[in-house]
Chains A and B, each alone.
Chain A
Amino acid sequence: MGALLLLPLGALVVRTGPDAFVAGLRSDIALPALRLSLATSALALGVTVLLGTPLAYRLAFSDGRAARAISTLLSLPVVMPPAVAGVALLLAFGRFGLPSALGFPDASLAFTGAAVVIAQVFVSAPLYIQGATAAFRALDRELFEVAASLGAGPRRAFFRVALPVARPGLVAAGAMAWARALGEFGATLMFAGNLEGVTQTLPLAIYVALESDPAAAQALALVLMFAAFGLLALVRRRTIGTAVR
């Protein structure tokens, strides 16, 4: 199993080589795309955590049929083919979607940086919500009884008990969601288009470079891999540190 997962990564590193890597980093499209990818995926993660955490908390402690149905519905974007997700986003937020329904005909989020973030949230938030729900469910219910007996209201219990105790699980879920957002390709291409410096994220830049300059594409892929690896390693270290403390 390990070989299956690591061999392609190793091949990418070995076959690219340090010189090509540096050349790829220096190519015109690399830095704007990397910057855009990091900025949009960070924003997407912020939106996901801010809106997803309360939702996951609510879902974790609701056992009704409705809650289960909502959980299932919310994980649909994960199984949707990316291009379908992109078309759905266009129909929802494009020229004939929500903006025109709200009385702004001609307004459209398509082809903007906001579209990149929305596409990333759309495909990555379900992963976070699932992970966060599981993390909250795993909490010992007695913790809440103790908190309530000490006079903590629901809000205080959430911030002072649930969040700190569930934190490692939340961070892991956030890391998965962030990684998915960073690699987002299909929905972005459909919904946000491909314009250098505006909507061309690193995965799009890699795909475009593949057509003209496969070596540069490999180098860019390495850049993406190292960026993801570095940030995930950082998250891991901090999470484990917290858990031990």
Chain B
Amino acid sequence: MSPARMAFVGVLLVVLTACTGQSPPSPGAPPAPEADAESGRSPAAARRLTIFAAASLKDAFTVIGDDFRAAQQQTGANAVELAFSFAGSQTLRAQIEQGAPADVFAAADPAPLQALQAAGHVGPPATLAFNDLVVVRPAATEGSLGARTLSDIAARGRLVVATPEAPLGRYTATMFSRLEPALGAALQARVVSRELDARQVLGKVLLGEADAAVVYRTDAVAAGARVERVELPPDANVRATLAIAVVRRSREPDLAAAFAAYAAGPTGQARLRAAGFLVDAPAEIGAPAPPVTARPVSGSPAGAVP
């Protein structure tokens, strides 16, 4: 290649890098705790809470955190500082097992919490909210790429799902197995990539590289008008249970319990519903999480967006 040509390619790359704007977090890097904006200057007596939460809870928990801090301030108590670490539930579970300084852990399915509870790392989990699956496709694509139904996708779409090691991938596999066998097999054959977590699955649709993807309903809500939803047959859908528990090693056990109760309480539930979670069963802190991790949903959960 001539130097002029290389220079052109180089400039192109610089422009492309600039265009990507906010980059997704490097999948190889350990999840960095997203420190709160105000935690730079800490008043001497501020109480500090580190919250580990599933990646799908990011939007809802960020808002709930603000609410919680404001509510604590109104009681006249010392200021509260919150630090969040959002990542895959299995990753967070492994980190807590290795002694990560978490106070509260909210997981995308009950299994990691149950394992942690059995090992004495966390207290009894409480049900936080529910999630289920939708198929999304890029809103912009037209014509041959506009796969409108599951059969369209099975006929000629590039489908991206989550890897079976992630809860989303496991739910997706269950969903495929509940579809009509021919349709389920045809969809499986259309899978071009098994991404490591829900946000990466969604990302492939937002970039227009995938014609369709199976994601959590909350991911579809978060993506807003950039994606269109292809609803699944209700009897094939899978309901995921999110649960929350207080970490036993917490240095602020009361405050941790208060946050867990707040997230499972009326304000938290309203925020979770706004983020697309299903919260039809009001949960109480201390109540055991349902033992079944996935069960069919009777009737399509409508009204995910308030």
Q: Which residues of A contact B (CB under 8 A)?
A: 51, 55, 58-59, 62, 66-67, 69-70, 73-74, 76-77, 80-84, 87-88, 90-92, 94-96, 106, 108, 110-111, 185-186, 189-190, 192-196, 199, 207-209, 211-212, 214
Contact = CB atoms under 8 A, between A and B. Distances in A.
Interface residues of B, number: 41
B163 A73 contact: no
B17 A88 contact: yes
A195 B193 contact: yes
A87 B26 contact: no
A119 to B, nearest CB: 13
A76 B195 contact: no
B196 A208 contact: yes
Interface string B2-31: 010011001111101101100111111000
Interface stretch (B100-108, B120-128, B204-212): B204-212
A110 B27 contact: no
Contacts of B91: 211
A99 to B, nearest CB: 12
B237 to A, nearest CB: 24
B14 A95 contact: no
Interface string B144-174: 1100000000000010100101100000000
B144 A55 contact: no
A213 to B, nearest CB: 9
Contacts of A84: 17, 20, 23
Nearest to A91: B16
24 contacts: A59-B3, A62-B3, A67-B3, A69-B7, A70-B6, A73-B7, A73-B14, A84-B23, A87-B24, A87-B207, A92-B16, A95-B208, A106-B144, A108-B209, A111-B209, A185-B28, A193-B160, A194-B193, A195-B192, A199-B193, A208-B165, A211-B90, A211-B196, A212-B165
Contacts of B7: 66, 69-70, 73
A186 B196 CA distance: 11
B65 interface: no
